[in-house]
């Protein structure tokens, strides 16, 4: 299989090359040249693997990673899911007859990003060994992506990782997961500003093709297609484990900031897996809620919130949805993205919402939702997952994606329910010194830092 850019001005890439590059040279995002169509036979093969997460992941990814020998790919995938503390990797917890929670926080950094970034780290390690080249990974984070990316690459030979994050706008424990590793190949870069400032600077750095090639620079954000494909698997796993009478009608409710998490489920649906639909659950930084309710994609200021991983306005992965919604018309994608970048706004006439709906949750509502869920079910959710539990639809089954452990947000949980959740890995971080680098969110400052420390 080959991978092409949403903007249509990059030659097709193999899977490994698309992973290594991350962001397409023309500024677009890689997508499969054609999406596989999973028929009844493929769904039956998936069904047989519903209790074998790594096996299911291999059966799915082998349709995309066609340039990696099957035995090698299987070994990479097996290795990627050895650091999860739940036997079934992604437990599907039933709260009542209509409501399930898909727990995606049992990986090494206690967030859903581990599903893709453990795999991506091992893919990078494989590429370094096969190609005899080093790789320098650059990412931006509003919270969980950075720590998960770092823990996917800790100490791996031939790699260095540079993560930009908004200083003071992640939770203290999220910051400690990035800046207390002690690994020599890890650099936590704290900027003044927002995640959107960090992401904009990152894209400008990747736009310098000479610098990018010289330092073998790769993107670790969900602009990297491997992230999206890996995340498709937990939707597939959850759908297969639902009761048969719930599968056809179940809606997946997804806390969403950069649109990558929910896009993965939607792409799986387009491949033929009959997922009914998706609710985009935003916090008070609600660009996606406004888009899916009004058809207007417009940037406003980012307001720090109790759900910091969703404190985003410009959602990178929306471009992939746009590409498919516009009939794979790359010229039209370029036009829309050019207009949006210039004006900070784009209004879609007759906007195609497909199978999406949306909801919005203010900070003032989050503690009350956490309290309500705890009192009704004896179950504690983190602030991001709380946004997805604001208004569960009583008329049909729902699968809420629990994206992070409540232990990462102890202050909010303690305020809501009087209980402070703890996790041993987080407790161990509290005594370690922070090792972070203050840096301006400018392409020149970032490139200078990378050049001085690149692998």
pLDDT tens for each residue of 352-403: 899 999 999 999 999 999 999 999 999 999 999 999 999 888 889 999 999 9
pLDDT single digits (tens) 235-257? 999 999 999 989 999 999 999 98
What distance, in Å, lies between the first and last C-alpha atoms of the chain? 30
Is 157 among the domain residues?
A: no
Whether residue 241 is contained in a domain is answered as: yes
Is residue 387 within 8 Å of 281, Cβ to Cβ? yes
Q: Whole-prediction pTM value?
A: 0.93
Domain, as residue range, for 359: 92-111+226-422
User: Is residue 335, in this structure, part of any structural domain at all?
Assistant: yes
349 in any annotated domain: yes
Q: Decide: 101 and 250 in contact? Cβ < 8 Å.
A: no
Q: At what angle do helices 330-343 and 318-325 cross, to 10 degrees?
A: 140
Is 309 domain-assigned?
Answer: yes
For 24-71, what is each residue's pLDDT tens digit? 999 999 999 999 999 999 999 999 999 999 999 999 999 999 999 999
Residue 100 maps to a domain: yes
Asked if residue 80 is part of any domain, the answer here is no
CATH code of the domain covering residue 272: 3.40.50.1100
pLDDT band at 285 (very low <50, low <70, confident <90, very high): very high
Closest CA to 137 of 235, 224, 76, 24: 224
Out of 50, 79, 94, 113, the active site residue is: 113
94 is catalytic: no
Q: Backbone dihedral region of 171: left (phi > 0), alpha (psi from -120 to 50 degrees) or beta? A: beta
Token pair belonging to 36: 């596989």
**Strand partners of residue 297:** 346
pLDDT of residue 181 exceeding 80, the answer is yes
Q: Could you tell me if residue 339 is inside a domain?
A: yes
How many domains is the chain built from? 1
Residue 143: pLDDT above 80?
Answer: no
């Amino acid at each position: 299989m080959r991978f092409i850019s949403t903007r249509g001005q990059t030659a097709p890439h193999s899977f490994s090359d698309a992973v290594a590059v991350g962001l397409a040279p023309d500024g677009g995002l890689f997508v499969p040249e054609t999406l596989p169509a999973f028929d009844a036979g493929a769904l039956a093969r998936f069904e047989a693997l519903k209790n074998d997460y790594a096996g299911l992941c291999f059966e799915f990814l082998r349709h995309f990673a066609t340039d990696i020998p099957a035995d090698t790919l299987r070994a990479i995938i097996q290795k990627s899911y050895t650091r999860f503390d739940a036997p079934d990797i992604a437990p599907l917890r039933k709260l009542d007859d209509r409501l399930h929670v898909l727990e995606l926080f049992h990986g090494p950094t206690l967030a859903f990003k581990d599903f893709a970034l453990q795999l991506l780290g091992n893919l990078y390690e494989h590429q370094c060994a096969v190609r005899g080249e080093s790789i320098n990974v650059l990412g931006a984070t509003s919270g969980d992506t950075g720590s998960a990316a770092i823990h996917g690459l800790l100490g791996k030979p031939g790699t260095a990782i540079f993560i930009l994050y908004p200083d003071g706008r992640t939770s203290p424990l999220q910051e400690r997961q990035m800046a207390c590793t002690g690994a020599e190949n890890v650099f936590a870069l704290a900027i003044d500003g927002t995640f959107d400032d960090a992401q904009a600077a990152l894209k400008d750095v990747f736009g310098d093709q000479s610098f990018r090639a010289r330092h073998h620079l790769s993107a670790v954000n969900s602009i990297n297609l491997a992230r999206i494909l890996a995340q498709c698997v937990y939707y597939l796993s959850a759908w297969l484990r639902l009761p048969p009478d719930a599968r056809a009608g179940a809606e997946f409710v997804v806390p969403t900031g950069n649109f990558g998490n929910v896009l993965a489920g939607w792409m799986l649906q387009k491949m033929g897996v009959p997922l009914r639909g998706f609710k985009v659950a935003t916090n008070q930084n609600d660009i996606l809620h406004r888009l899916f309710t009004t058809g207007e994609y417009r940037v406003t200021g980012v307001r720090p919130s109790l759900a910091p991983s969703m404190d985003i306005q410009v959602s990178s992965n929306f471009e992939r949805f746009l590409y498919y919604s516009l009939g794979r018309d790359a010229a039209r994608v370029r036009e829309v993205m050019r207009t949006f970048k210039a004006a900070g706004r784009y209004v879609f006439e007759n906007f195609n919402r497909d199978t999406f709906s949306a909801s919005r949750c203010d900070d003032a509502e989050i503690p009350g939702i956490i309290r309500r869920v705890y009192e009704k079910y004896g179950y504690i959710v983190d602030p991001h997952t709380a946004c997805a539990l604001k208004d569960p639809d009583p008329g049909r089954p729902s699968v809420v994606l629990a994206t992070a452990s409540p232990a990462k947000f102890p202050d909010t949980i303690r305020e809501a329910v009087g209980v402070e959740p703890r996790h041993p890995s987080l407790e161990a971080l509290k005594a370690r010194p922070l090792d972070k680098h203050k840096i301006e969110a400018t392409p020149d400052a970032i490139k200078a830092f990378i050049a001085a420390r690149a692998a």
